[in-house]
Chain A
Amino acid sequence: MVIKVKTENEKVHEWLKQQLEDCADIDDRELKAGDKKAKIIYLKSVTDSQIINRFIITPFYETKDTKEFMEYVVSFPAEMEPKDQHEALSQLLKGFVIIFAENKYVAFQAKKMAGSGVTEASAEVNVQGSPDALTENLEVNLNLIRHRYQTANLKVELKVIGSISQSAAGILYDSTKVDNDVLKELKKRLDSIEAEVLITAGELEQELSGRKFHIFPTVVVTERPDRLVKSIEQGKIVVMLDKTKFAIILPSIFQDFFAAMDDRIQLPLVGWFLKGIRYAGLIATLSLPAFYVAFAAYNPEILRVQLTLMIAGSRVPVPYPAVIEVLLMLIMVEFLIEASIRLPKTIGPTATTVGGLILGTAATEAGLVGNVMIILVSAVAITNFVIPINMMNFSVRVLRYAFLLLASLFGLVGIVLGFVGIVVYLSQVRSFGRPYFNILADTNSRKGIS
């Protein structure tokens, strides 16, 4: 009886198979031709069979012996030699083929690129300028950035976050312009992330911001490579997470959330005007419902008599107090917005039309809400979309209700209180140690301090 002593190779092979026991997509095959012998193991779902055929299986039968085959394989830049079986496993999961031959095992990259191609930006649309958006693939994204920022100073550091998701995060910055304090702080925070699964840039944003409860986003989440490049040029740091279409920019200040990429394309005067419009939109969307309540319930003397009488007239058939009226309509609009976001693109407009037009008209005719109220609610909904960055958009949407509450409790004073509160809050917020609400800051300054 011959006692077969398992070689190191066989042990690793066994172990790997054990680890991936119930995975239907594992493929484990032996290549044999004459005295040539090799074993390969890989996950079919994450590897590209063409690459395996072309660079592993075909050469195996064309080379003289296993040694030559191994030499051939090792010559590829895609080849890696794992330190131990654990690294081999993680590489296997990433889309590597582990080849066992000649008493050693090597990993050969045969990743299947299931990523989508470069598509047009959908969350951050602009009129002119590049339509490209980031893709789900980190390498494609890096490619998009590199093409737009061709300097050796653009550094890319890779870090793995998420103990289960193993998401690769690329930290991009211009080494000559970056603020090293922020970079250090970022790395510290990335290291301290304890999440198991991290899939979206938004989650990363929350993990990084270091606060449990915050109203305003402190880093910009964007899908536009041109915005990323502009930020890198300004000395900011970009963190790109693999498998997500969005990247985050930090440190960011309040103003960044109100800048669209169009602003740079337009003439300066037009750019300023657009910016002004956005801030006006911010104030309007925050305070209009609150003003209505404050006006209708507390201080009807602040408006002109025509308007007062008109609002009073429109409210005559309304059975509920102004706060309830506003709240009802606002929530109705929120439903509309939510519904039209989640609906397929083909039904979306229909839902909005049906909901918005018919509901609004019918509600006023039935006397459930005043005419003025409908105008106001639509104005609020529209002005809200003026803010170009999605996350800020949502923050403002929520904050509106705080203003409504304040106005319903304290009237006009409540609104003033709300604005004072926001300014106080914003002033103490820091984005990676940089003052967040630095309105007078030079946005081109890399320090974020004027």
Chain B
Amino acid sequence: MKKILLFVCIAALLSGCNIRDVEKRAFVVAMGVDKAKEKDKLEISLKVSLPTGDPKAGLSKFTIITVQAESIAEAMRIAKSKIDKELDFGHTRVIMLGKNLLSEDIKPIIYWAQRRRDIQMISHIAAAQPDAKTVIAIQPKTETIPGSYLVNLFDREGSESPFVIPEYLFDLQRKISEFGWDPVLPLVEAQKDNLVVERAILLNDEKMKVTLSPDETRLLNILKDDEIKSSFTAIEHGKIKYTINEESSRAKFRISEGNHPTITFNVKMSGVLEEDRVEGYFTKEKAQEAARLIEQELNRKMVKLLMKCQKSKVDPLGFGLRYQATHVKKDEQEVWNELYPRIKFKVNSKVDIQSTGIIK
């Protein structure tokens, strides 16, 4: 019994100052990193949520702490003196990187976030325009909890937009260190007091290479084989004829070598007719026509997108990794690096209109 008592006493001392009750912690819900105006300095903005005692008052209060320092780790130390509570990164679900920062090497920031025990690996990384600080400070009207707007978008918990390509911290790190797979970051744009995510940025392993248009972002999402709902329009001679709501899609690719190395994509999608601007019932013939028009359009656009990636020497779909995984050579990486710029793309899409909605 004495031994047990002794143990308890010692154990009680061991915990020391580690206990810090939840109300004495400041939860950083989002973090932004920008290039500071001063040379070689970073500007870190932390969105800290402020809990209120009254649950009816809501949880949407927050404050922004901005710190400038040479390194992020240094910035955290400085930030500690700007708030009376312990900064807690356990709920940092979004890390924004300013667009100006993307033209430089982003690796140090990612590795810093990776190394932290308390930043969760399921945090989302996104690019911010015009800069991370502005984006973080905006509180859209529908945001009920600080930081929840972007998390809902990236998690696809709330809105399920085909224009959002979320990137997790762990995945980003993996893509950076992996050969033959390059990261894609969603671009968050600040528009007055709202945030819009509809474009994506392609990076090579270090810096930004090319920004995609919303339409290209959506196609990339399809090619990534993400189960995402979208809509496609059949246009003939510049006139909108039909729009279908795509409900499920599959995308697979095959790399064939030989004299004409090609990457062949097979995209299958099925959907429901949403809009029919042509007179008459939606007959089987019209369905076939609509599918054909959409298929042609898709094939053309997708090849264009793939060639765009190829031209900017990025590989967001992991062709290189696939090549490496299926070829056992001593120098498969060099072979691929030589092969990729001259490879041809081919896309076979297949659209299946399953229903005409609840009317004919």
Of B16-24, B210-218, B275-283, the segment with at least 4 beta carbons within 8 Å of chain A is B16-24
The answer, yes or no, to whether A359 is at the interface (CB within 8 Å) is no
CB distance from A274 to the nearest CB of B (A): 34
State how many residues of chain A have any CB contact under 8 Å with chain B: 29
The answer, yes or no, to whether A51 is at the interface (CB within 8 Å) is no
Q: Which of B14, B19, B54 contacts A321 (CB 8 A)?
A: B19
The answer, yes or no, to whether A309 is at the interface (CB within 8 Å) is yes
Distance in angstroms between the alpha carbons of A312 and B54 in the assembled complex: 11
Q: Which of B14, B22, B90, B120 contacts A315 (CB 8 A)?
A: B22
The answer, yes or no, to whether A301 is at the interface (CB within 8 Å) is yes
* Chain B residue contacts of A317, Cβ below 8 A: 53
Known contacts: A298-B19, A300-B88, A321-B19. The answer to whether A312 contacts B145 by CB under 8 A is no
Fill in one digit per residue for A112-142: 1 if any B CB lies within 8 Å of its CB, else 0.
0000000000000000000000000000000
The answer, yes or no, to whether A18 is at the interface (CB within 8 Å) is no
Q: Is the CB of A297 within 8 A of B88?
A: no
Q: Is the CB of B147 within 8 A of A409?
A: no
A325 closest partner in B (C-beta)? B21
* Chain A residue contacts of B55, Cβ below 8 A: 310, 313-314, 371
Q: Is the CB of B51 within 8 A of A316?
A: yes
The answer, yes or no, to whether B348 is at the interface (CB within 8 Å) is no
The answer, yes or no, to whether A178 is at the interface (CB within 8 Å) is no
The answer, yes or no, to whether B243 is at the interface (CB within 8 Å) is no
B26 closest partner in A (C-beta)? A312
The answer, yes or no, to whether A296 is at the interface (CB within 8 Å) is yes
A300 closest partner in B (C-beta)? B22
Q: Is the CB of A322 within 8 A of B22?
A: yes
* Chain B residue contacts of A305, Cβ below 8 A: 27, 29, 49, 91, 93, 145, 147-148
Q: Which of B9-47 contact A (CB under 8 A)?
A: 11-12, 14-15, 18-23, 25, 27, 29
The answer, yes or no, to whether A401 is at the interface (CB within 8 Å) is no
Q: Which of A283-310 contact B (CB under 8 A)?
A: 295-302, 305-306, 308-310
Using C-beta atoms within 8 Å of the partner chain, give the interface range for chain B.
Answer: 20 to 34
Distance in angstroms between the alpha carbons of A312 and B23 in the assembled complex: 5
A317 closest partner in B (C-beta)? B53
The answer, yes or no, to whether B227 is at the interface (CB within 8 Å) is no
Name, among A295, A309, A321, the residue most crowded by chain B CB atoms within 10 Å (CB to CB).
Answer: A309
Fill in one digit per residue for A350-380: 1 if any B CB lies within 8 Å of its CB, else 0.
0000000000000000010001000000000
Known contacts: A297-B19, A321-B19, A322-B22. The answer to whether A309 contacts B11 by CB under 8 A is no
Distance in angstroms between the alpha carbons of A27 and B12 in the assembled complex: 67
Q: Is the CB of A300 within 8 A of B25?
A: yes
* Chain A residue contacts of B53, Cβ below 8 A: 313-314, 316-317, 367
Distance in angstroms between the alpha carbons of A308 and B93 in the assembled complex: 14
Distance in angstroms between the alpha carbons of A311 and B24 in the assembled complex: 12
B93 closest partner in A (C-beta)? A305
Known contacts: A297-B22, A300-B88, A305-B145. The answer to whether A313 contacts B51 by CB under 8 A is yes
Known contacts: A305-B91, A314-B53. The answer to whether A295 contacts B22 by CB under 8 A is yes
Distance in angstroms between the alpha carbons of A316 and B24 in the assembled complex: 8
The answer, yes or no, to whether A410 is at the interface (CB within 8 Å) is yes
The answer, yes or no, to whether B104 is at the interface (CB within 8 Å) is no
CB distance from B60 to the nearest CB of A (A): 10
Q: Which of B86-102 contact A (CB under 8 A)?
A: 88, 90-91, 93
Q: Which of A312, A321, A371, A410 contacts B25 (CB 8 A)?
A: A312
CB distance from B58 to the nearest CB of A (A): 10
Q: Is the CB of B23 within 8 A of A310?
A: no
The answer, yes or no, to whether B59 is at the interface (CB within 8 Å) is yes
CB distance from B69 to the nearest CB of A (A): 24
A371 closest partner in B (C-beta)? B55
The answer, yes or no, to whether A318 is at the interface (CB within 8 Å) is yes
Fill in one digit per residue for A178-222: 1 if any B CB lies within 8 Å of its CB, else 0.
000000000000000000000000000000000000000000000
Name, among B29, B59, B148, the residue most crowded by chain A CB atoms within 10 Å (CB to CB).
Answer: B59
The answer, yes or no, to whether B226 is at the interface (CB within 8 Å) is no
Q: Is the CB of A298 within 8 A of B52?
A: no
Q: Is the CB of A316 within 8 A of B91?
A: no
Q: Which of B148-202 contact A (CB under 8 A)?
A: 148
CB distance from A338 to the nearest CB of B (A): 25
B120 closest partner in A (C-beta)? A301
The answer, yes or no, to whether B8 is at the interface (CB within 8 Å) is yes
Q: Is the CB of B21 within 8 A of A321?
A: yes
The answer, yes or no, to whether A449 is at the interface (CB within 8 Å) is no
CB distance from A164 to the nearest CB of B (A): 31
Distance in angstroms between the alpha carbons of A408 and B14 in the assembled complex: 11
The answer, yes or no, to whether A405 is at the interface (CB within 8 Å) is yes
Distance in angstroms between the alpha carbons of A314 and B56 in the assembled complex: 11
Which A residues have a C-beta under 8 Å from some C-beta of B? 295-302, 305-306, 308-318, 321-322, 367, 371, 405, 408-410
Instruction: Give 16 CB contacts A-B under 8 Å.
Output: A297-B20, A300-B27, A300-B91, A301-B88, A301-B118, A302-B90, A305-B27, A305-B49, A305-B148, A306-B59, A312-B22, A313-B54, A313-B59, A314-B55, A321-B19, A322-B21
User: 7 shortest A-B CB distances, which residue pairs?
Assistant: A301-B90, A313-B51, A312-B51, A316-B53, A315-B23, A296-B22, A305-B91
19 A-B pairs besides A311-B22, A312-B51 with CB distance below 8 A are A295-B22, A297-B22, A299-B90, A300-B22, A300-B90, A301-B88, A301-B118, A305-B93, A312-B22, A312-B25, A312-B27, A313-B23, A313-B52, A313-B54, A315-B21, A316-B23, A316-B52, A318-B23, A321-B19
